[in-house]
Structure 1
């Protein structure tokens, strides 16, 4: 987010256009590697989530010792311990964790798609509400498609999300860098 008081020197940014293109090419390569190894990409995604959960659990345990009240200390400590254990379980069985995350994604897609449809139909926010409803239908369908293939698709769904994200980010950075060069 750029604050009103912040300004960027466009000439300085323009001078770095090649770095944006290089980053884009690297992300594009990583995206194609991930697309070629969806199981590995899925496990890598799950391990990343596990590392974050473990780190958050450790921080929460440390935070518990800063709480002065013993009742709240034990609640924070227990919460941190559970979070850290969940992170460790991800490393112990990443395929099971991928299954859990995949079904969570499917349910989340269906819920958010239904919410978008409801907002579009009930609010009639303007001329674009039909597009919001259409987007909601697509999101619901994506959730049902993922859920219909579960648990077998748990081996590749997270990997394909990672691959697609890396590819789009790569294309975006390449386009941004080339745009800076032309400016």
Structure 2
């Protein structure tokens, strides 16, 4: 902190406030329309899969030109591009796939936490691990049993993350403001 001037803190304060406000607004939009946000996440993942596949394809092509045999890389390129195209052309299937993966994650994470609780139950505060695990298992079953809940959960999680991140950036901006006043 010794090398930062008052102007640096003031400039960063404005940036933190701006980024925090944008994230907060996007978080509330995502929470108000979680299904739409889920489809936006699914579309972004589809585009990322295609980009990763194209990158692998270019890498495989370059390896073939140099005399190597990159069949695994070429295979992964085809799989990535195909998955990305499926996500983009069949968005509902993509959201359902992501929802099932998220449900499986919650189930595995929840069961692991419940098992861990029984190993560390003598430690103070370990009850929170048990509660977190039971919540994870409950979320997994809720997502698995209700298609809309599962699909919306992606947007809800995105919204919650954006709201907390936005608040964090705004608080960092406030911290910069306080430091700039003391310098």
The normalised TM-score by structure 2 is 0.84
2:137 is matched with which residue?
140
Unaligned runs of at least 5 residues, structure 1 = 1-6
Give a deviation string over 1:129-159, Cα, whole Å, max 9, x none: 332222212222222222221x233442222
In structure 1, the residue matched to 2:36 is 40
Query: Which of 64, 85, 89 is equivalent to 2:86?
Result: 89
1:28 and 1:167 in contact (8 A); partners too: yes
Please say if residues 95 and 154 of structure 1, whose CA atoms lie closer than 8 Å, have aligned partners that are also in contact: no
Aligned partner of 1:17 in structure 2 is 13
2:24 aligns with: 28
CA RMSD of aligned residues (A): 2.2
User: How many matched pairs?
Assistant: 174
Q: In terms of mean alpha carbon deviation, does 129-138 or 101-110 score higher?
A: 129-138
Report the CA distance between 1:75 and its aligned residue. Answer: 2.1
State whether structure 2 residue 145 is matched by structure 1 residue 169. Answer: no
Deviations 1:22-70 (A, max 9, x none): 1111111112222233232111110111111111111111222344542
TM-score calculated relative to the size of structure 1: 0.84
In 1, Cα distance between the equivalents of 2:122 and 2:109? 17
Counterpart in the other structure of 1:50: 46
The 1:145/1:8 distance shift into structure 2, 3 A limit, reads: farther
